[in-house]
Amino acid sequence: MFFHVLRYRMLAYIRDRETVFWSLLFPLILTSVLSLVMSGLTNEEIVIAPAKAAVVQNDHYAAQTPLQEAIRALNADQEAPFEFTLVATPEEAKEQLIQGDIDGYFIPQDDYALDLHVAKSGMWQTMLEEFQNTYSSNARMIVNIMETNPIKGMSLLLSGLPESRLQFEKIDPDQNVTNPWGSMYFAQIALIALYASLQAVTEGSAVDPSIYPVGLRQRMTPQHHLGIVLSSFFAVFFMSLFNVGVYLIFSQFVLGLDFGLTTYPLYAIGISVAGIMCGIALGFLVSAWIPGKRNRHSVAIAISMFMVFFAGMMQMHVRQIVRTFIPFIRYINPADMITDGFYALMYYGDTSRAMMNIGLLVAFAAVCLVFTFIRIRRTRYDHL
């Protein structure tokens, strides 16, 4: 009975042209277009310009020797993320800001404070704000310690000040990364895996006797509820595995996007398989707890879109923002686990981090299946 149901559910999947398009053809088309648009961009062509700022030379600036030394040291370093120019008046600095010559300007104040002025928000303005906060806090700390405990203050100066929170994570040069937009493509794999939840919702509804006659007939057969769920699970699993396999092979060997099929084949397959399991388990969980076929599809689509958005598919910096301010989300977001698994392999060669993400994916799928089984085994009907 198990293989009989498995066979016919796979045939039903293949005959659903709309599902085949969204789960296979649409990701291939989208990735092909993105690859064509971004094919000319490489790591060597991408240069992050330093944040440019002006500093007003007022009386407070003349009294702040640490600020003068910091500006002199940063301007002397060609790889520094900041570039400062000195101006005589705030009006001159404002004029440069309006003309777009600088990203912002500082007006030194009392107590080692810096008054930052910007015209808009962005990455460079955020960097200037970080410099403002770091300099002011460190300068005040050193002055206070030198006044209360000169020996400790000298020790702190010799050992170095605390580093800024603004860190730039370096890519492992041995990985030979040629695609700086990799995380966007990794999120595409997560999208395909989570699209399996839509088909899983359909399968879950198909075995529901209150919705389809097929489910009614299956419930009348002498088959355990777990066997019904597993037959539908593997039907979606094999078809989703085919979709992901076609996507990876086409993307790597036709489009030239590296997903680790030649360097880390076992890990790439493991992440893909675990991600598919999560998508299917999530779909069955939704179909078990949400009433109504349309409501189930709506919830599954909404959850999938939120997950890939937080994984950085639409905006790559969203993933880093989420990890910084709400880090626990990564442990309940399969899309982020899939993206991070491929990211760790291709950018850092970190197989242990990839294995950790595989383990988290398997655990997430297991939890979803357990709650699904608990729900369907307790379901009772007035009549069949």
Task: Kindly write down the DSSP assignment for every residue of 58-120, as one continuous string.
Answer: -HHHHH-HHHHHHHHHHHH-TT-SEEEEEESSHHHHHHHHHHTS-SEEEEE-GGG-EEEE-SS
Question: Residue 174's pLDDT is what?
Answer: 45
For the residues 267-278, what does the mean pLDDT come to? 95
* 383 has a pLDDT exceeding 70: no
For the residues 172-180, what does the mean pLDDT come to? 45
Question: Residue 347's pLDDT is what?
Answer: 82
* % of the chain surpassing 90 pLDDT: 33
Identify which has the larger pLDDT, 283 or 148: 283
Per DSSP, 51 falls in state E
CA gap 363, 267 in Å, rounded:
17
Question: Residue 246's pLDDT is what?
Answer: 94
CA gap 128, 313 in Å, rounded:
27
Q: Which range among 13-22, 36-45, 62-71 shows the weakest confidence by mean pLDDT?
A: 36-45
For the residues 232-261, what does the mean pLDDT come to? 89
Q: Are 358 and 213 in contact (CB under 8 A)?
A: no
Identify which has the larger pLDDT, 113 or 182: 113
* % of the chain surpassing 70 pLDDT: 81
For the residues 126-132, what does the mean pLDDT come to? 88
Other beta carbons within 10 angstroms of residue 106's beta carbon come to 23
Q: How confident is the model at residue 312 (pLDDT cuts 50, 70, 90)?
A: confident
Kindly report whether the global pTM for this prediction surpasses the value 0.75: no
How much is the mean pLDDT over the chain?
82
* 323 has a pLDDT exceeding 90: no
